[in-house]
Amino acid sequence: MGAPAAIVDEAGSLAEIRLALAPALAQAAVFDGWTEAAVDAAAQAEGVDPAIARLAFADGPMAMIEAFVAATDAAMRAHFADGRLGNMKIRERIGALVRFRLDQAAGLEEALSRALAIQALPTNVSRALKLGWSSADAMWRLAGDTATDYNHYTKRAILASLYAATLAVFIEDQSEGKAETSAFLDRRIDGVMKFEKVKAQLTSKREHFDIVRFLGRLRYPQH
């Protein structure tokens, strides 16, 4: 057990190894699934000791999927770090962020389909939900969201659902340039924006609600 630990110390933490191997692992998962064979293939492609790679992913398929999602989150943050989202409307920001993630997944449809099946297993549902929430949070933060009240939670829950639904369409989409996925995403964003508008109106009315005046009307109703 001492040798692997020493190698890990030299190569970096296991977390760093998982992140570094994630893209190649996803490519291998297209053919081998999220398995040890895919880990070995990724290790060989990246010049990492297979024994160390297996140690990094000892937690199994979910650890592999989590690493791929983390790598996608990191790539997304790096891509939009230049502030290019700043001049966009909020709907355009969300659209750009989701489309970037889909671009990262191009050619990995089979691996993603297998990943969704793994995440749907009862033993993995909790981790899968946290994974979706984490990515939604990363997108909202890049989009400039600073909400700290209940909106913080509703926005992330809605975006996580939107992204999951869009990803499911993306996996099955055989149209030219994934046109069906793009149209689906636009419709879902339209729906979210309408919902947010209505929610804001209701919230505004609630904030201006005068409880004393309301109780007075109950006691002395207008004729």
My answer on whether 159 and 207 are in the same domain is yes
Q: What is the pLDDT of residue 12?
A: 52
Q: What is the pLDDT of residue 217?
A: 56
Nearest-angstrom CA–CA distance, 115 and 62: 8
Q: What is the mean pLDDT of residues 14-23?
A: 95
Q: What is the pLDDT of residue 184?
A: 97
- How does residue 10 score in pLDDT terms, banded at 50, 70 and 90? very low
My answer on whether 184 and 77 are in the same domain is yes
Check whether 60 has a pLDDT greater than 90.
yes
- How does residue 194 score in pLDDT terms, banded at 50, 70 and 90? confident
Lowest mean pLDDT among 30-39, 154-163, 212-221: 212-221
Q: What is the mean pLDDT of residues 152-174?
A: 95
Domain range for 31 is: 1-58
My answer on whether 54 and 103 are in the same domain is no
My answer on whether 51 and 79 are in the same domain is no
- Tell me the two tokens of residue 178: 């994934």
Which of 68, 66, 75, 77 is CA-nearest to residue 139? 77
- Name the burial class of residue 124, with classes exposed (0-12), middle (13-18) and buried (19+) by CB atoms within 10 angstroms of its CB: middle
Q: What is the pLDDT of residue 11?
A: 45
Total of domains in the chain: 2
My answer on whether 92 and 11 are in the same domain is no
Residue 177: DSSP 8-state: G
Nearest-angstrom CA–CA distance, 81 and 75: 10
Nearest-angstrom CA–CA distance, 68 and 72: 6
Check whether 198 has a pLDDT greater than 90.
no
Indicate the average pLDDT of the chain. Answer: 88
Find tokens 């749907």 and name the residue.
120
Residue 90 burial (CB count, 10 A): 16
- pLDDT tens digits for range 73-128: 999 999 999 999 999 999 999 999 999 999 999 999 999 999 999 999 999 999 99
Q: What is the pLDDT of residue 147?
A: 82
Which of 10, 32, 58 represents a domain boundary (last residue)? 58
Nearest-angstrom CA–CA distance, 70 and 58: 17
